[in-house]
Structure 1
Amino acid sequence: MAQERFYYSSKSSPLISADESIVNQILTMYEDGTSVGLIKETFPDIKINNNLYMFLPYVITDDICDCGKPLYRKTKGRTSFAAELIYCPACRHDETPDCLCKTCILKRKNELEARKMHFYKTWDSYYDNTYNSDIELSNLSIYEEVQLVILIHEYFNKESKSFNFINARLIEVNFGVRQLPTEIFKFTKAFIDKKILIPEKEVEYSTSLDHYGDLGLFQPQLTLANCQWTLNLAKDGTTLTVGEIFNYLVKKDYTAAQREIFWKECYQESIINYFEYSTRNYANFDLIKQNLELIADELFNHYSLSKAYRLIYYGIQRTLTHKAKYSTTIKSANSYLRNLMLSNIEKYNLPEHKPNLKDFNPVELSESYFTHYIKRYILRSNQEYFYYNLADIRHKF
């Protein structure tokens, strides 16, 4: 008897050659939860195996597909095949979100075009309301000015005239994820939050941009990768290009007071880096942040980096000896090193002890983008800055 009511997705199904009434019995038993083993025993002449569900047919229904042909239904499977399946052999419609029948493909295409049209209309309104005024260049802090120069230098594409974070120089972190260096990422995010760095109005549609919050409000999820970025800055009311901003900032002449502020940033970063490197690698503990900042401030007021490094070296060596002798805790080691450093800072600043403190230049440590730019382009520092104390710096500025 021909199986007019069934459609088989697998032409190797052992049920194809069986009588339709037997196939109906097998389907009924399977739907009732009968074990595959018992079904095999009931119909020994049919080569049924444990993959029975894969070979069960779709059964014709009274529903009609958009193409005009009848739809077929496959009973729910067990475990990982728990969904009921629908299929049209004529056009391959299967009622899944990614159905590849011509009707569904066209329907999804039309829906996408409609979403895009609505998105661009909503995006234009959102953009005009959100980024409706330039920020005056004079309102930036001197720190932001330097950070902006770094950002432009590292990630601005002169050909596209926009920031290119997609193909930019990135660093690799855990699990192969690639991202901006942490220092640059932090101030880039701050620029976005302050609307100094803003997206270009012309964007490519993406689901991350076409996003609505819990209250149904349009909330595009802006990332460095899903749109192009530009600067939202003006000088005396005139909007500037990124190139004009860069040229203005790199040529800016900072005052002596501002350069002293910059030098303090560079100095303290160097002190903190050396302390962290030394305590972590040699003393096997981290200096508490408050202690670190206190010591760095005191050193800045009296010593060049070369002599500050010597005092730090002394302090670390004495602390190692103290730890070995008294088996101190991390807390007590912190207190000992802090007190020793403050004592030596005061001691070697006295005239009778100053000559005894020699310069010390350890292995070169890594420095931030910020410090590198300050030293090279604003302070125009050569190695001699390493040997200047605050009084020398003020005289030079």
Structure 2
Amino acid sequence: MTVKFWKASRNLVMGAVLACALINAASSQQSGTVLRASSTLLGGTTATIEIDIAGPKTANTETNLLLEFGPDGNSRTNPVPDPALPATTTFTVSSSSGGSHVFPLFGGFESQAFPGKNVAFNLLDPPTSPGLYSLSIVHLQEVPAGVTEIWKVQINGLPRAGVRTIASVRQGAFRSLVPTGVSQGPPAITIVPPPVTVGSAPALTVRSSGGLDLSNVALSQVAITPELGISGLGIGNATPNSIVVSFNVANCTPGGERTLTIRDQNVAASAIFALAAVRQTPAISVSPTRVVIASTATLNVMSTGCFDLSGVRPSQVSIVPSTGISGITVAATSATSLSLSFAVAGDAPLVSRRLVIENGDSNSSAAFEVAAPFHPPPPPIHHCTPSQRCCEEDENGSCTLCINRPRQCP
């Protein structure tokens, strides 16, 4: 009957404390509240909890302290909320009646350090509650009336931010809690200076609040999303409250909002900054600028002004006017160039044409000429001077051997 009552009362207490914690989910570093039957704290790598165990208590009575750790602001229990406590986390238990023992994260049992007590520290249900621990103190001897034992639990090695601790006690009462304080807000970052311009290499100063420690942030913990056009991400000048984030923004990167996210152990903070695009007029150029009739022409098309040619298909290409032009094909495309081939009929009009490429909401064009094949004029006919006579001529009647008169041709 006692066990059933304990389980029911424990669930009510833990439920009430958890509800309170969720209402105040946006807590920050170094905040906490202690009441007689429950307490909650957030932030800091250490915490100290004291409980009073007042007599009379009969022999073999058990005092139980429940500690549950979890992500601050958690709103669901499926998936199971995991606090991801470091393996180096320890729990030092001491008593005013004598004795002290350090329990590791995986727990343990101690029957020698505390006179007349059996003390056990256990992780209760790892699969469904990976952050729920129990400190059991069994009083092998009675605690007389008028006697109050003070038990202290010193927790070391907690994550600096983002882990909420909720505690309840049975057969005892909370005496004190460190840290305590009013929540000052969730972990957050701000960025100086916005905005960022396309084609630049900005260095943003990022400042943190709410207990987010930036001093040991690794590059793998920093991300900019979406990452299109972003490269060369780097960090420097890190302190607990600030860090410089640098990166390159490629030319032709679309403007809009980007999100910078920094993670510290099991917490994350994000800030949005503006990416200002530089207005550029899409343009293309072609080489050569002259093609001839009765041939298969090839034009090399180059892009400027952020006009993307990488996905261009023949259906997006037209030549105006199109008379005498057929069989347009596209090959060897990249963001800045493509190769274009087409047939030019022998009777195609000899006029200037315009190559037009449509790409999404924009289009660009460039001019080229359709011309007749070039035939160089025949060389001029060479004649001897009046004082010379011609001795040999080529097929065009041009003298190839002139001798002075009165000499005779050989």
Scaled by the length of structure 1, the TM-score of the pair is 0.24
Query: Highest relative contact order (Cα 8 Å, sep 6+), 1 or 2?
Result: 2
More helix by share: 1
More strand by share: 2
Scaled by the length of structure 2, the TM-score of the pair is 0.24
Q: Between Structure 1 and Structure 2, whose CA radius of gyration is higher?
A: 2
